[in-house]
Amino acid sequence: MPTANSLPKSFLQLLRPRLPQMLDTLRELVNHESPSTEKVPTDRCCHFLADLWLHRKTLVNVVSQRHRGDHLRIVWPGTKPRPKSQLLVLGHYDTVYPSGALVKMPFHLKVGKAFGPGVFDMKAGIVQALFALDALHQSRLPVNKSIIFLWTSDEEIGSESSRKLIEAEARRSDAVFVLEPALGPRGLLKTSRKGVGEARLIVQGRASHAGLAPELGINAVHELASQIAKIEKWNDPRRGVSINADIISGGSRANVIADLAQATLDLRAWKLFDMRALEKRLHSLKPVHRGAKLELRGGFDRPPLERKRSSALFACAKSLATQMGFSLGEAAAGGGSDGNFTAALGIPTLDGLGAVGDGAHSSHEHILTKHLPQRAALLAALLATS
Ligand SMILES: [Zn+2]
């Protein structure tokens, strides 16, 4: 049995020779397409994944969904008969690519990179977790916590069907490890993420002939323009608060005063405090034009992942990486993940533990294959020591 000091290195030694098998598994997983919005192929991918885990002495529970792909909850009870508590390994197996994307971008290996739809975001992360578990088995280390692996099917479209499951599992966990892609070629972990939301501002005015009776109209487009001018001033780059009207629409014809206009607003903030303040401001908007009515729908759907929830876990990960002979950095990400949900519950959360690569959601999406064993070893070491 490895000593505490040699433990991360021993995982690396177990995993390095397994790179070819990791790539074979990754190829098969990528070849099971799993678009978030198509249940049939996504379920097929889910069942392929379920089989992989069933072969590894785990309890596999397929959480059936009506409209989305099924979620997968896997339990490894650890090595002690009565585990004290649990750790959560979290990720999603859905991708942003529609069925048939493989025709244009087939899985392939080229000069140390693996390409394919969803390979980086985040199928390679799932493969790393699978092999991390293998390494835990092989090392025969005593692990007195059970480990839950949760692979969901709708992260790329907002996690509507999985959020409750993720939160319930996180509440029971001592820590959450998120296998989303790392940032940049140095594989930085994501120790903070912005809270993200979408709101719709709808303005109701009154239609009238623009030439014959303009005084009877209430121009919804003018009202919306005034509101947007006001909202724009709320942007605070220093605090990382942003609000952007990304889509607007309104009016019906050139000679009719617009009776309806609306804007879709992208909302982002680093801090929970700023998120709440921004929502409050939005809800307290008052019409500028007499008679106009404002309605606000939506708001933040992912709270921020604040660094204080990641810092202790990151320090552990950094020290384990040093013992394995590589340096590990951290970064802040402007986009959200399911880690935002778990961190907002106050559960220590470390994100960006997945693959090193580039081009998420694009035709050149790829990972750097040499990092696979290293990242899997890092996860195994974190699970063994947390
Ligand atoms: Zn992702």
Q: Tell how far the Cα of 150 is from the centroid of ligand 1, in angstroms.
A: 13
Q: Tell how far the Cα of 334 is from the centroid of ligand 1, in angstroms.
A: 13
Q: Tell how far the Cα of 202 is from the centroid of ligand 1, in angstroms.
A: 31
CA distance 385 to 170: 18
Q: Determine the Cα angle at 124 with ends 118 and 128, to 5°.
A: 160
HSE (CB half, 13 Å, CA atoms) of 196?
15
Q: Tell how far the Cα of 92 is from the centroid of ligand 1, in angstroms.
A: 7
**pLDDT tens, per residue, the chain with 386 residues:** 555 568 899 999 999 999 999 999 999 999 999 999 999 999 999 999 999 999 898 999 999 999 999 999 999 998 888 888 999 999 999 999 999 999 999 999 999 999 999 999 999 999 999 999 999 999 988 888 999 999 999 999 999 999 999 999 999 999 999 999 999 999 999 999 999 999 999 999 999 999 999 999 999 999 999 999 999 999 999 999 999 999 999 999 999 999 999 999 999 999 999 999 999 999 999 999 999 999 999 999 999 999 999 999 999 999 999 999 999 999 999 989 999 999 999 999 999 999 999 999 999 999 999 999 999 999 999 999 99
| Residue 187 burial (CB count, 10 A) | 25
Containing 357, the helix (H) or strand (E) segment is strand 357-358
SS3 167: helix
Rounded to two decimals, what is the model's pTM? 0.90
CA distance 84 to 386: 12
For the chain, the maximum distance between any two Cα atoms, rounded to a whole number of angstroms, is: 89
Q: Tell how far the Cα of 81 is from the centroid of ligand 1, in angstroms.
A: 34
pLDDT of residue 270: 95
Residue 355 CB partners (closer than 8 Å, separation 6+): 119, 120, 122, 124, 125, 128, 181, 182, 367, 368, 371, 372, 375
Task: Tell me which residue has tokens 């809270």.
Answer: 195
Q: Tell how far the Cα of 240 is from the centroid of ligand 1, in angstroms.
A: 22
CA distance 333 to 366: 19
pLDDT of residue 191: 97
CA distance 182 to 315: 16
Q: Tell how far the Cα of 279 is from the centroid of ligand 1, in angstroms.
A: 26
pLDDT of residue 186: 94
Altogether, the residues listed in the chain come to a count of 386
Q: What is the CA radius of gyration of the chain?
A: 24
Q: Tell how far the Cα of 154 is from the centroid of ligand 1, in angstroms.
A: 10
Q: Tell how far the Cα of 121 is from the centroid of ligand 1, in angstroms.
A: 5
| Pick from 65, 66, 78, 25: nearest CA to 49 | 25
Q: Tell how far the Cα of 156 is from the centroid of ligand 1, in angstroms.
A: 6
Q: Tell how far the Cα of 180 is from the centroid of ligand 1, in angstroms.
A: 5
Containing 169, the helix (H) or strand (E) segment is helix 163-171
Annotate 146-161 with DSSP letters as a single string: EEEEEEES-GGGT-TT
Whether 309 and 191 have beta carbons less than 8 Å apart is answered as: no
Q: Tell how far the Cα of 94 is from the centroid of ligand 1, in angstroms.
A: 8
Q: Determine the Cα angle at 324 with ends 318 and 329, to 5°.
A: 30
